[in-house]
Amino acid sequence: MSIETTGLREAKKRETRQLISDQATRLFMTQGFESTTIAEIATAARVATKTVTNYFPRKEDMAFDHQDAFVASLAETVSARPAGESVLGALRRTFEAGVAAQDPVIGFAGPDFSRMIHESPTLSACLRTLHDRREEALAAALAEATGSSPDDITARTTAALLAAVHRVMFRRIQELTLAGRTNDEIAAVVADEAADAFGLLEPALGHYAVG
């Protein structure tokens, strides 16, 4: 099989996966996550039911189809920070850029998607798990950055504190979205509140793991 043929097959798989995810999310938002069946998703995407489950073993993965990027986001910020920048500084800078860009990864998911999560016990639980996994990935990145063991308590505690700020701000963005505020209004509020939240950590973590 040629490289070109392999490339076309992989592109087709990505397209099919995205189509299924898009149709599933549309149905989740209009009729609720728990009320939507795999068969309905397959019909909307014009694929077989087995195709849906082959691409997405868990139904909630169709709603959180970019979860790997979410889980890795804080750890990648730590790994990519420039020389001389602290971990706190890097995460604060990246979050501020996310607010300015109204990035869905930090919570700017729109009212329909935010409501879908809020109204679904399954998706709400899944989101909490993704936050936990992101904290664990951050702890591993901090341990590596400081040359510590994977179970280093300082790295794990620091990760918990930094991840907590991101978790609280994510929830805050969702709250304001569900309250009917526009993204511009939310960004203005969150920019000030995030500055206060990150500022609370500055005395303890301002010089931690400077690159």
Measure CA 139 to chain center. 16
Distance of alpha carbon 157 from alpha carbon 162, whole angstroms: 9
Looking at the fold, whether 116 and 137 belong to one and the same domain comes out as yes
pLDDT at position 8: 82
In a domain, 210, yes or no: no
Looking at the fold, whether 196 and 133 belong to one and the same domain comes out as yes
Q: Which ranges in 46-120 belong to alpha helices (H)?
A: 49-55, 60-63, 67-80, 87-101, 111-118
pLDDT at position 91: 97
Residue given tokens 């990864």 in the structure block: 105
Looking at the fold, whether 152 and 103 belong to one and the same domain comes out as yes
pLDDT band at 56; cut points 50, 70, 90: very high
Distance of alpha carbon 163 from alpha carbon 134, whole angstroms: 8
Distance of alpha carbon 97 from alpha carbon 73, whole angstroms: 13
Looking at the fold, whether 143 and 162 belong to one and the same domain comes out as yes
CATH (domain of 198): 1.10.357.10
CATH (domain of 34): 1.10.10.60
Q: Is 177 helix (H, G, I), strand (E, B) or coil?
A: helix
- Residue 141, pLDDT > 90, answer yes
Question: Which residue segment(s) compose the domain that 184 sits in?
Answer: 67-203
Distance of alpha carbon 198 from alpha carbon 2, whole angstroms: 51
Q: Is 51 helix (H, G, I), strand (E, B) or coil?
A: helix
Evaluate whether 169 touches 55 at the Cβ level (below 8 Å): no
pLDDT at position 209: 86
**Identity (one letter) of the amino acid at 99?**
V
Residue among 69, 87, 70 at smallest CA distance from 78 = 87
Domain tally, the chain? 2
pLDDT at position 186: 98
Distance of alpha carbon 113 from alpha carbon 105, whole angstroms: 12
Residue among 182, 10, 38 at smallest CA distance from 110 = 182
Looking at the fold, whether 98 and 132 belong to one and the same domain comes out as yes
pTM of the model: 0.91
Residue among 164, 152, 194 at smallest CA distance from 74 = 164
Looking at the fold, whether 50 and 146 belong to one and the same domain comes out as no
Looking at the fold, whether 45 and 77 belong to one and the same domain comes out as no
Residue among 193, 97, 201, 72 at smallest CA distance from 209 = 201
| pLDDT (average), residues 35-43 | 97
**Which tens digit of pLDDT belongs to each residue from 27-37?**
999 999 999 99
Measure CA 19 to chain center. 20
Looking at the fold, whether 187 and 93 belong to one and the same domain comes out as yes
Looking at the fold, whether 77 and 47 belong to one and the same domain comes out as no
Looking at the fold, whether 26 and 71 belong to one and the same domain comes out as no
Please say whether the dihedral angle defined by the alpha carbons of residues 69, 73, 75 and 80, taken in this order, is positive or negative: positive
* Residue at a domain's end among 11, 41, 58: 58
- Residue 51, pLDDT > 70, answer yes
